[in-house]
Chain A
């Protein structure tokens, strides 16, 4: 068709540009899955906890995997992972302590829910591997808060 014409119409140009950008800088493979995973949270009015990097907690004589700590304003969630075959066991501690509902969401699986004891201690057994997020529900109907950790791949 437009033989010799180096400037096609705008639509074609934009399409080409789109293709070009997609080729040079494609979105991460799991982006869609991660977005869907995040959107699937029923209550979007959440506080996202920060992941405290482990180097603040060094001084341990072990090369084994340690614990992961998340904090948001006044709440700290610490978890310890133990591999059990293909799955995981999560031991967790909430500070300040309280009998809060704790949910673990793993992409592609049903979520698991438990309630921490009055010392803020909880255990989630038999958690499958994958993109994982922990959700803590604090308080009653009126002043309910939902705290989520960043999604980590376990």
Chain B
């Protein structure tokens, strides 16, 4: 008897070791797991009596060991280990335990098949064992839930997005039922990957955040992988700093756990983030380290991608600086391009060669540039649109350098048309380096050429036409609204997936012909289903100058043009076009920044009097200076008419009503004349929605007071103000007044947000309203801001609303004091309710105290 108890105790010890090893492996600490499992095997060898419980224990240990060794070693070892386990299985009597262990072995074999790319075999195995597991109905549900998660991964890899989502959802349900936090975390991670695949970045980020929250305690070792995928999604969204933060958290863990491939991929992603942030040294450093790791692993394709990332940092830095590139840089790029070509990485080959062409043009080596340009393979359907833009940019730059400006403009026109017809950034982050700016560079090149040669009415008209063509492209980069047709949606989702898989296969050196023909078929079918007529990504039609002039009526349009260091304005009044040169752009921008800082500092309601006086004096002085630079030269042209202002780059946040000669003058500010024309229609005045978010002093009082102005308004505040309720209240409304904190997201305007009781409401979500509010008043924060960094034309929260169809958005371009905002809003709504237009109503409201009421009327007032 006594011996039997000792035996049991030993078995318990083995099983405990096994459990501990599994937990360790599940947190990606495989080396430690192997140590524990070997120890367990030694215990079994030393003590085992050949009864069924001991055999089963040995099998379990062998299975886990096979998995862990295949993670850190080779999959061949893994398969061998599983065969050993299978051999021991024969010793067991028929029954539940044998059935279950057979399912575990098959499941793990399926997993290894998946790892070596034998997807169809893997899926078939999973399909075979899942009914068995369902039949066994084990108490803890772990095995079934884990197998579901694994099958979901394979479905995802094979592009069966719906099936993958179903399996993940099922796993999450099982996890909830049985309290399996780790499974839930991993399944949510999987759902995030699926959303990213479908281009739903906010959805992906939501799932990743949930997964990270769960895994933080349930399996900390897994967190690093979530952070890596999260960072990739953030990079697609252009949020470089956020991506960098996630990667910086993940890198030490990946290093500690020796997940070399992930570690090196994370470094390439981190280099991409650094490049986007202009930190070239860091980008180079990381790309070099990543390349070394890939080489050590024998992963040549990834090693060359890392090499390209390094040279891209060099090239971008020298192109940005305006210096003459050293001759070795284009040569190195050409060599990498050749090596990438040998590996069959077509898009990367082209990218490397095109960068070399730009450098050669900059060096004045025009013949060499032309020669290399001719060697660049023609883009294919699956080439990312950014690459097509880069090709056009190279041709245009070469044409400019060769003294053929007409040809350069033709390239720019063709490129921008391509950008319009490329309905989506199918490529996304494929090359892990942001090239999204090429469309902008192409536009800037064209505007610069036209501005340089513009004379008289005709020149002004032509310049406006080009500005509209280039400005409208900002909208084409927007994530796309939901698609109603489910079949079409599925095709498009699969297209995104196939495109990404093609890229991955090239990196892995696998054939892609079958996938490419599948892509062509999908594209044909999608077109047949009306892709080109759906709302999805259809380029916003660009208004002609004549159409703009006609729609203006009595108003005057002032469209600013900034190029290099010169600032000019195209003025349209009574059907006539004029070009006025306004001098130095950088001086105006600097003064505008100072004024902005003044208004920012002046905002608090309780600023001490001496400070208030000093800052006000500074603001008045700067506003007068801007008035002199920007408005006085136009005075004869604009008279005292109502204005429509289209700013440029960093002047989007300029508080125009603060300029003395514009005080009390009705004006609208629009991101482009096209947007203004689209917005300038009569709106519906009802229903009115008043929203009060959390944490804004006086918000509740303000929205409640506004009930006096709008007695039938719907009030959404306090605990009721969740993002879902607010979104549904906004849908189809006439006037929406929102008092809530928010934040402008400089990296990607569509992630600017309004803080509600249950978390943020993203501009992205507001932009997906099918029937957005006609007029929106954002009564807090800086949500009317666009961007501060020079040269960028990003939209803000307000811009996203305009892009989705709101006609007018009133918002602040600087901080505002609580009571200053509340008073301005009360004045505004009284005038609006009395039937004044938003531009006129706001002009009256801001004229009372322009420096402390920095509100703008965006869109059409």
Residues from chain B with a CB closer than 8 A to the CB of A57 are 604, 606-607
- Report whether A91 and B611 are in contact in the complex, using a CB–CB cutoff of 8 Å: no
Which chain A positions have C-beta within 8 A of B780?
A: 61-62
B563-596 vs A: 1/0 string, CB under 8 Å?
0000000000000000000000000001001100
Number of A-B contacts (CB under 8 A): 104
Please give the number of chain B residues whose Cβ is less than 8 angstroms from any Cβ of chain A in the complex: 42
B277 near A119 with CB under 8 A, answer no
Asked whether B614 lies within 8 Å of A66 as measured between CB atoms, the reply is no
Nearest chain B CB to A52 CB, angstrom units:
9
Rounded to whole angstroms, the CA-CA distance of A67 and B614 in the bound complex is 15
Question: Smallest Cβ distance from B778 to chain A, in angstroms?
Answer: 10
* B597, B604, B610, B789: most-surrounded residue (chain A CB, <10 A): B597
B611 lies within 8 A of A64 (CB)? no
With an 8 A cutoff between CB atoms, is B819 at the interface?
A: yes
B511 within 8 A of A: no
Q: How far does the Cβ of B749 sit from chain A's closest Cβ, in whole Å? A: 16
Q: Is B601 an interface residue (CB 8 A)?
A: yes
Which residues of chain B from 754 to 780 have any CB-CB distance to chain A below 8 Å in the complex?
Answer: 755, 779-780
Q: Which B811-825 residues sit within 8 Å CB-CB of chain A?
A: 812, 815-819, 821
Q: Which residues of A50-101 have CB atoms within 8 Å of chain B's CB atoms?
A: 56-64, 66-67, 69, 76, 78, 80, 82, 84-86, 89, 91, 93-97
For residue A73, give the distance in angstroms from its CB to the closest CB of chain B: 13
* Cβ-based interface call for B709 (8 A): no
- A57 to chain B minimum Cβ distance, whole angstroms, is 4
What are the residues of chain A within 8 A of B789 when measuring CB–CB?
Answer: 84-85
Q: In the complex, which residues of chain A have a beta carbon less than 8 angstroms from the beta carbon of B743? A: 63-64
CA gap between A106 and B817 in the complex, in Å: 32
Out of B277, B601, B605, B695, name the residue touching A91 (CB < 8 Å): B601
- Cβ B279 vs Cβ A86 within 8 A: yes
Most chain B C-beta atoms within 10 Å of own C-beta, residue among A82, A96, A121: A121
Contact between B601 and A62 (Cβ–Cβ < 8 Å)?
no
**Contact across chains for B815 and A86 when beta carbons are under 8 A apart:** no
How many residues of A sit at the interface, in one of the four size bands? Answer: 20 to 34
Cβ contact within 8 Å between B600 and A119: no
Q: Is there an interface contact between B817 and A61, defined as CB atoms closer than 8 Å?
A: yes
Residues of A within 8 A of B593 (CB): 82, 89, 91
* Cβ-defined contact, A121 with B594, below 8 A: yes
A60 touches B618 (CB 8 A): no
Assembled-state Cα–Cα distance A143/B614 (Å): 24
A62–B618 CB distance below 8 A: no
Point out the residue from A58, A62, A93, A121 that lies within 8 Å of B782, measured CB to CB: A62
For residue B741, which residue of chain A has the nearest CB? A63
> Please, how many angstroms separate the alpha-carbon atoms of A63 and B754 in the complex?
11
A119 to B611, CA, bound (A): 11
Q: Is the CB of A59 within 8 A of B604?
A: yes
CB of B606 within 8 A of CB of A93, answer no
A64 to B780, CA, bound (A): 11
Q: Which of B601, B816, B819 gathers the greatest number of chain A CB atoms within 10 Å?
A: B601
Contact B781 A59 (CB under 8 A): no
Name the one of A64, A69, A89, A94 contacting B781, with C-beta atoms under 8 angstroms: A64
Bound together, the chains give a CA A96 to CA B603 distance in angstroms of 20
When chains A and B are docked, how far (Å) is the Cα of A84 from the Cα of B697?
A: 30
Cα A84 to Cα B780 with chains together (Å) = 23
Least CB distance from B623 to A in Å reads 13
Q: Is B128 interfacial (CB 8 A cutoff)? A: no
Q: Write out the residue numbers on chain A whose beta carbons fall within 8 Å of the beta carbon of B608.
A: 76
Report if B617 contacts A (CB, 8 A): yes
Q: Does A104 contact B (CB under 8 A)?
A: no
Q: Which residue from chain B places its CB closest to the CB of A61 in the assembled complex?
A: B780
Instruction: Tell me whether B779 and A80 are in contact (CB under 8 A).
Output: no
Q: Answer yes or no: B788 CB below 8 A from chain A CBs.
A: yes
Given A82-B788, A86-B279, A91-B601: A61 touches B614 (CB 8 Å cut-off): no
Shortest CB-to-CB span from B795 to chain A, Å, is 18
Contact with B along A85-127 (1 / 0, CB 8 A): 1100101011111000000000000000000000111010000
Decide if A69 touches B817 in the complex (CB within 8 Å).
Answer: no
Known A57-B604, A57-B607, A78-B611; judge A62-B788 contact (CB<8 A).
Answer: no
Contacts of B779 in A (CB 8 A): 61
Shortest CB-to-CB span from B717 to chain A, Å, is 15
The distance in angstroms between the C-alpha atoms of A66 and B600, with both chains bound, is 8
- Select which of B600, B606, B781 is within 8 A of A67 by beta carbon: B600
**B117 contacts partner chain A, Cβ-Cβ < 8 Å:** no
- CB neighbours (8 Å) of A93 from chain B are 601, 611, 614-615, 618
Given contacts A82-B788, A84-B789, are A62 and B614 in contact (CB under 8 A)? no
B597 touches A60 (CB 8 A): no
A59-B605, A60-B605, A80-B601 known; A119-B741 Cβ under 8 A: no
Docked-complex contact B606 and A56, CB < 8 angstroms: yes
Closest to A81 in B: B597
**Bound CA–CA A96/B755 (angstroms):** 39
Judge whether B42 is part of the interface by a CB distance below 8 angstroms: no
A61 touches B615 (CB 8 A): no
B790 (CB) vs chain A CBs: closest residue: A84
Is B551 engaged at the interface, CB distance under 8 Å to the other chain? no
Query: Is B781 a contact of A76 with CB atoms below 8 Å?
Result: no
List A contacts of B601 (CB < 8 A). Answer: 67, 78, 80, 91, 93
The interface residues of chain B lying within 8 Å CB-to-CB of A91 are 593-594, 597-598, 601
Q: Is A60's CB under 8 angstroms from B818's CB?
A: yes
Cα(A119)–Cα(B598), bound, Å: 12
Chain B's nearest CB lies how many Å from the CB of A115? 15
B242 to chain A, nearest CB (A): 14
Extra 14 A-B pairs, beta carbons < 8 Å, given A61-B821, A67-B600:
A61-B781, A63-B741, A66-B600, A66-B603, A66-B604, A76-B608, A76-B610, A78-B615, A80-B600, A84-B789, A86-B278, A86-B279, A93-B601, A95-B610
List 10 A–B pairs whose Cβ atoms lie within 8 Å, in order of A's numbering: A60-B604, A61-B818, A62-B780, A64-B782, A69-B611, A85-B279, A85-B789, A94-B614, A95-B610, A123-B594
- Residues of chain B touching chain A, judged by Cβ–Cβ distance below 8 Å, are 277-279, 590, 593-594, 597-598, 600-601, 603-608, 610-611, 614-615, 617-618, 621, 695-697, 741, 743, 755, 779-782, 788-789, 812, 815-819, 821
Q: Which 4 A-B pairs have the closest CB atoms?
A: A59-B605, A91-B597, A61-B780, A62-B815
